[in-house]
């Protein structure tokens, strides 16, 4: 479960940036094509945040959709998963969006 290490990295990054400030909420952006399960991150967050300045903080997650461009025909595609296939039949698709993992905002007391 790599979500545990991802969540630990998020908590560590917030603590490094916010210091001793009590954190009320964290807004994460986890792209649909990132390979990270938001529900698992939510579960891990409570465990990892326990005993830190993030204990009790609310975790909000937004999931931007995937987007790609077919290198064969140029069509811009909406991608819901990592199976990259254009309607023209080509599998030569460049991923443009949806792989993000970002801390978008942190609210402190």
**Domain residue ranges in the chain:** 2-65+98-108
- Among residues 94, 92, 97, 95, the alpha carbon closest in space to that of 62 is found at 97
Instruction: Encode pLDDT of 42-79 as tens digits.
Output: 999 999 999 999 999 999 999 999 999 999 999 999 99
CATH 3.30.2320.50 fits 2-65+98-108, yes or no: yes
> What's residue 67's pLDDT?
96
What pTM was computed for the model? 0.85
Contacts of 63 (CB under 8 A, 6+ apart): 29, 30, 31, 32, 38
């Amino acid at each position: 479960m790599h979500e545990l290490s991802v969540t630990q990295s998020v908590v560590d990054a917030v603590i490094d940036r916010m210091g001793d400030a009590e954190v009320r909420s964290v807004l994460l952006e986890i792209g649909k094509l990132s390979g990270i399960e938001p529900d698992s991150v939510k579960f891990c967050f409570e465990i990892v945040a326990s005993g830190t300045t993030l204990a009790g903080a609310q975790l909000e997650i937004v999931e931007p959709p995937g987007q790609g461009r077919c290198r064969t025909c140029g069509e811009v595609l909406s991608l819901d998963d990592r199976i990259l296939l254009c309607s023209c039949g080509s599998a030569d698709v460049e991923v443009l969006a949806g792989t993000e993992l970002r801390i978008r905002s942190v609210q402190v007391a």
